[in-house]
Structure formats: C-alpha cells, structure tokens
Amino acid sequence: MDDHTILSSDGNFGNVTVCPGGVVHVNLAHVSLKFVSSDFVRFSDLVNRARVALGNRPQQLSGKPHLQLVTSEQPDDDSSDPVR
C-alpha cells in the first residue's frame, strides 16, 4: 500500500486511496471496497444523495435503536382452543 495515493483520511474511521492502476480503495474499520474511477464517482454521488436525504429527515431523539418484531401471524387466542 506504499504506492497508493491517499485521497482522503479520517483518523481511525477510514480512508480513501487510489493505486497506480487507477483503482479507488475505500477502507473502513471492517469493510474494504474497490472501484474503478467511474464507479467510485457513481458511488460517491449515491452516498451524497443519501446524506442529503438523511439531513432532510426530522431529527429523532438520540438513544439506542430498538428491535421491533413485525409478523403477519395472528396472535393465539387460548379461549377458543379446545381443551388439550
């Protein structure tokens, strides 16, 4: 990786580099993505549009996310079951 040019870096969060062959490398803590230049531009546009859309959402209270189970099954009603 000594021959990569650093395009952007954010401390321990990650970095974006480009190798001599023109492949753009997006390196995060547990994820690495590789793009040809034109696909990297499309990816960065996609992320930018998502960032703008996220900024337009109403602010939510901070806190831990919660798990919500959604099911299409009807709850059991023990009063209608025959005696077992």
Which residue carries 């939510």 as its tokens? 60
The pLDDT of residue 61 is: 63
Please state the pTM of the whole predicted model. Answer: 0.62
Mean pLDDT is highest, among 8-17, 56-65, 68-77, for: 8-17
Q: Which long-range contacts (CB under 8 A, 24 or more apart) does 34-43 make?
A: none
The pLDDT of residue 80 is: 52
Q: 43 is written with which tokens? A: 């990816």
pLDDT tens digits for range 31-52: 999 999 999 999 999 999 999 9
The pLDDT of residue 84 is: 46
pLDDT-based confidence at residue 58 (cuts at 50, 70, 90): confident
